[in-house]
Chain A
Amino acid sequence: MKFLFILLIFSTSFPLWARGTYQEPTEFLAETFQNNVPKASVIWLSGEVRKDVSEILTHKPNGLRVRYWVKDKKSAWILEEIGKTEPITIGFVINNNEIIQTKVLIFRESRGSEIRHDFFTRQFSNAKLTTENKLDRTIDGITGATLSVRALTRLSRVALYLNNQRLTKNDTP
Chain B
Amino acid sequence: MRYLNLPTLAITAALSLPIVANASEADLQKQINELKARLDVTTEVIESSASTNKSTGGSKVQIGGYGEMHYNNLNGKGGAADKTEMDFHRFVLFFGYEFSDTIRFFSEVEIEHALASSSASGEVELEQAYIEFDINKQHRVKAGVFLIPVGIINETHEPNTFYGVERNPVEKNIIPSTWWEGGTALSGEFAKGWQYDVSLTSGLDLGTTGTTKVRSGRQKVSNAQAKSLMTAARVKWTGVPGLELAATVTHQDDYTQGLGTKNSAQLIETHAVWQKNGFALRALYASWKVDGQTSGYDKQKGYYIEPSYKFTDKVGVFARYNQYDNQAGDSSQNGEKKQTDIGVNYWPHPDVVIKADYQSQDNANNSDQNGFNLGIGYQF
| Contacts from A to B (Cβ < 8 Å) | 3-4, 7-8, 10-12, 14, 16-20, 58, 62-65, 82, 84-87, 110, 113-114, 117, 119-120, 123, 138-146, 150
A23 → chain B closest CB, angstroms: 14
Tell me if B349 and A58 are in contact (CB < 8 A).
Answer: yes
Known: A14-B190, A85-B62, A117-B193. A142 touches B136 (CB 8 A): no
Query: Which residues of A have CB within 8 Å of B12?
Result: none
Query: Which residues of A have CB within 8 Å of B244?
Result: 142-144
Q: Is B191 an interface residue (CB 8 A)?
A: yes
Known: A14-B191, A85-B96, A117-B192. A142 touches B137 (CB 8 A): no
CA distance in complex: A150, B82 (Å): 41
Known: A4-B186, A144-B244. A87 touches B192 (CB 8 A): no
A33 → chain B closest CB, angstroms: 23
Known: A10-B190, A119-B240. A146 touches B198 (CB 8 A): no
Contacts A4-B198, A120-B241 known; list 16 others, CB within 8 Å: A11-B139, A11-B190, A18-B189, A62-B47, A62-B50, A64-B43, A64-B46, A64-B47, A65-B43, A85-B56, A86-B56, A119-B193, A119-B239, A140-B242, A142-B242, A144-B238
Query: Which residues of B have CB within 8 Å of A65?
Result: 43, 47
Q: Which 8 residue pairs are nearest across A and B when measured between Cβ atoms? A: A140-B242, A11-B190, A17-B137, A140-B241, A143-B244, A85-B62, A143-B273, A138-B277
CA distance in complex: A4, B198 (Å): 8
Tell me if B51 and A142 are in contact (CB < 8 A).
Answer: no
Tell me the B130-174 residues at the A interface (CB within 8 Å).
132, 134, 136-140, 152, 155-156, 161
Tell me if B188 and A11 are in contact (CB < 8 A).
Answer: yes
Query: Which residues of A have CB within 8 Å of B191?
Result: 11, 14, 16
**Chain B interface: which size bin?**
35 or more
Give the nearest-CB partner of A140 in chain B.
B242
Q: Is B260 an interface residue (CB 8 A)?
A: no
Tell me if A144 and B64 are in contact (CB < 8 A).
Answer: no
Query: Which residues of A have CB within 8 Å of B62?
Result: 85
Known: A62-B51, A114-B193, A146-B161. A140 touches B276 (CB 8 A): yes
CA distance in complex: A4, B161 (Å): 32
Query: Which residues of B have CB within 8 Å of A63?
Result: 47, 50
B177 → chain A closest CB, angstroms: 15
Residue contacts A-B, CB under 8 angstroms, 8 given? A12-B136, A16-B191, A19-B137, A117-B193, A120-B241, A140-B275, A141-B242, A144-B244
Query: Which residues of A have CB within 8 Å of B192?
Result: 14, 16, 117, 119
B161 → chain A closest CB, angstroms: 6
Q: Is B289 an interface residue (CB 8 A)?
A: no
CA distance in complex: A89, B135 (Å): 22
Known: A65-B43, A138-B278, A150-B350. A119 touches B137 (CB 8 A): no
| Contacts from B to A (Cβ < 8 Å) | 43, 46-47, 50-51, 54, 56-57, 62, 64, 96, 104, 106, 132, 134, 136-140, 152, 155-156, 161, 186, 188-193, 196, 198, 238-242, 244, 273, 275-278, 349-350
Give the nearest-CB partner of B47 in chain A.
A63
Known: A4-B186, A114-B238. A20 touches B137 (CB 8 A): yes
CA distance in complex: A36, B176 (Å): 58
Tell me if A19 and B134 are in contact (CB < 8 A).
Answer: yes
Tell me if A12 and B57 are in contact (CB < 8 A).
Answer: no
CA distance in complex: A84, B275 (Å): 21
Query: Which residues of B have CB within 8 Å of A12?
Result: 136, 138
Tell me if A18 and B241 are in contact (CB < 8 A).
Answer: no
**Most B C-beta atoms less than 10 A away, residue of A58, A143, A144, A146:** A143
A112 → chain B closest CB, angstroms: 10
CA distance in complex: A11, B193 (Å): 12
Query: Which residues of B have CB within 8 Å of A144?
Result: 155-156, 238, 244
A10 → chain B closest CB, angstroms: 6
B133 → chain A closest CB, angstroms: 11
CA distance in complex: A160, B259 (Å): 65
CA distance in complex: A88, B172 (Å): 34
Picked from B54, B64, B136, B139, the residue with its CB within 8 Å of the CB of A84 is B64
CA distance in complex: A145, B273 (Å): 13
